[in-house]
Amino acid sequence: MEEIKKTDKFTIYKKKSGRYCVKDDANKYLNSEDKIKILLEEKLIKISPRKSPPKTEEAPKEAVKEEAKEEAPKEVVKEE
């Protein structure tokens, strides 16, 4: 592993695969949020925005509900 940057709080290494690892001052590897935050601050990685799910039209859903109401048999109330 190649040492990229060393500070008092952490050390950044680059692996042969091109990925990065970050060790804290206690020589423990950092994961997930902490690692991403440090790598973003050092401008070593970029995060692409998440794709939003495609919007569906709500009109057909309402039409289906209305059709279901029309097809449902009506209850007959008997008076005694």
Domain residue ranges in the chain:
2-41
pLDDT for 1-51, tens place per residue?
Answer: 898 999 899 999 999 999 999 999 899 999 888 888 988 888 888 888 877
Question: Counting every residue, how long is the chain?
Answer: 80
Q: What is the pTM of this model?
A: 0.56
pLDDT score of 64 more than 60 = no
Measured CA to CA, the distance from residue 44 to residue 46 in angstroms comes to 7
Return the higher-pLDDT residue of 38 and 56.
38
Torsion of CA 8, 14, 20, 23, to 10 degrees: -30
pLDDT of residue 14: 93
Task: Assess whether pLDDT exceeds 60 at residue 58.
Answer: no
